Structure 1
């Protein structure tokens, strides 16, 4: 008879391996070719959901000027969510003592958040009614100057630099731009501000979501890559911050908004090109004839024989097309980092 104590316990049955969790696939509006941008976007998109209500103060401000309906021609879509304004200010790292350029203050909801953060604000508003409204709303502070002007025709250096010199009592050498832009002037404003790395350290803007994604995430290998992407990466380091649901605006636009940050470069950080003007002329010509050979598209810059000689020296066929040639050019000048 075998003693029970001599029986060894049966080895435990291995537990079944847990099922592999399904991989989360982001919806199309937050997909990106950049891991850094994808992480930032998925982490902050929740912060842009409707929260603190600024609706009543916005409506009161409009009614006080007899402006019951914002003007579509001026791209007026006012922010109703104070939380979004706070996130916008935080994205720019605004702190006490900063000098900030705000474009299109509207009813002053973002202006209020900037002033609360301790900034001194230089606001440029095209609509004379809204400019007067913002002046009246914050008339008791000496940290705000409102100019009634079209920003696309406004000479920033001649007006803003004296203001900055007067108001900046610290060792800060650069100002910041924080704006909830009218969507219809976004590209013009980006082209205006990004080459001003000697004045501004960072530009944080509210744009259409599609525009923000294209500026921050478009890869040189994708059809979405345009001359504006070359321009943006030449002068700055763009970063998509977060998406803002269209229901946060009044009136409600057809598309969502998004906040994008541009960290501006100094002149010594620009890619080493002989002349930025000539470089962008070459880029625009290449994009205008993507399927043409470079020696044909760039004839207005130099002769076909000169182009062929350069292509031969770098080991490329003289029949190379603009699309592939542009990829190599931008890669060699450091514009393919996003």
Structure 2
């Protein structure tokens, strides 16, 4: 059986851990005159190094070992956490919703950047760990809950006060997944409804790759960081009903190999689908993987007129 100590000794020296380069954050004069923002990031004692020594020590203090069932992979490189905070443009007075704080390595960077952090953690042992770590600051609160089942609004509203609503979301995911979310690869099997959804509500940006050697335990693939600059409601594409729009999109992709005049015929007859495609400036033989977000919006609006 592999022990935590054996894994610890198999790790490379911290100096050899790869880092990623992040483009300089864009700024404009008077930008901080705007109300503070709420950020979401998925993934103190100031000056503490959150390298693999500190990570192993923190886990050992609770007798913990990363649980595969929870997808736990802890960041070993503190420079990556700094880059994450810069990618989200976290600044003094911001509020950050952190999903899965782990040992608190990223949390520490966020708090030191001047942000208030509300963390959601499912593992009760890690909840105890980060609660103890940040017990001396009033800029941190952790909830022991499953994020997908958590009623977050009731927890975040008192913290937000007069701040703006959520405007930036940042995730760290498998690099392959990150690329799929950002790149609109038309006419490929990677093009899916999630691409339409993401671009409908946000402006996604691939930030940087995070080599797998920066995690403990080391996963089988590299990760990447993606930010989503969320649009305000007036900037959403114009559709009569977002619910029926996305219902149409999902129906289209359910028959991905089929022409739209066949996969959407439960909405209206094929000849009317063909007419709507033509009115939208699209070939009557179009398939879902050939349409951009704007194309789907045009098609939906034409069908709505039928």
TM-score, normalising length: structure 2: 0.77
- Which residue matches 2:112? 116
Find the counterpart in structure 2 of residue 125 from structure 1. 121
Deviation string, structure 1 residues 19-53 (Cα, Å, up to 9, x no partner): xxxxxxxxxxxxxxxxxxxxxxx9649xxxxxx76
Partner SS state of residue 238, structure 1: strand
In 2: Cα distance, 1:153 partner to 1:331 partner = 34
- What CA distance in whole angstroms lies between the structure 2 residues aligned with 1:215 and 1:329? 13
Match 1:59 to one of 50, 56, 68: 56
C-alpha separation between the residues in 2 aligned to 1:209 and 1:256? 6
Aligned residues: 254
SS in 1 for 2:195: helix
8 Å contact from structure 1 (residues 291, 321) kept in 2? no
* Cα distance in structure 1, aligned partners of 2:88 and 2:283: 46
Match of 1:327 among 291, 294, 297: 291
Q: What is the Cα deviation at residue 321 of structure 1?
A: 3.9
Cα distance in 2, alignment partners of residues 155 and 206 from structure 1? 23
CA shift for structure 1 position 274: 1.5
Shift of residue 61 of structure 1?
1.1
1:209 maps to: 175
Shift in Å, 1:281: 1.2
Deviation at 1:305, TM superposition (A): 4.7
- C-alpha change, 1:65 and 1:314, in structure 2 (3 Å) is closer
- Shift of the 316–58 alpha-carbon distance from structure 1 to 2, 3 Å rule, reads closer
Check the 8 A contact 2:175/2:223 in 1, yes or no.
yes
Question: Which of 59, 66, 73 in structure 2 is aligned with 1:70?
Answer: 66
Q: Which residue of 1 aligns with 2:270?
A: 304
Contact 1:243/1:256 (<8 A) preserved: yes
1:290–1:321 Cα contact (<8 Å) kept = no
What is the alpha-carbon root mean square deviation over aligned residues?
A: 2.2
SS at match of 2:199: helix
Could you tell me which of 204, 222, 225 is aligned with 2:191?
225
Cα gap change, 1:330/1:312 in structure 2, threshold over 3 Å: closer, same or farther?
A: closer
Q: Check the 8 A contact 1:115/1:121 in 2, yes or no.
A: yes
CA contact (8 A) 2:249 2:296 kept: no
Instruction: Return the TM-score normalized by structure 1.
Output: 0.70
1:289 and 2:285 aligned: no
> Higher Cα Rg: structure 1 or 2?
1
Q: Which ranges of structure 2 fall in alignment gaps of 5 or more residues?
A: 1-19, 24-48, 299-306
SS in 2 for 1:220: coil
Contact kept? 2:50, 2:77, Cα under 8 Å: yes
Question: 2: CA distance between counterparts of 1:203 and 1:255?
Answer: 23
- Structure 1 SS opposite 2:291: helix
Q: Cα gap change, 1:215/1:138 in structure 2, threshold over 3 Å: closer, same or farther?
A: same
Please report how far the alpha carbon of residue 328 of structure 1 lies from its aligned counterpart in structure 2 after TM superposition: 6.0
Query: For structure 1, which runs of at least 5 residues remain unmatched after alignment?
Result: 1-41, 46-51, 174-198
Higher mean alpha-carbon deviation, 262-271 vs 52-61, is at: 52-61
* Secondary structure of 1:111 counterpart: helix
Of 257, 276, 282, 2:223 maps to: 257
Q: 1:314 to 1:118 in 2, by over 3 A?
A: closer
The answer (yes or no) to whether the contact 2:199–2:293 under 8 Å persists in 1 is no
Separation of aligned partners in 1, 2:91 and 2:281 = 52
Partner of 1:136: 132
| 1:106 alignment partner in structure 2 | 102
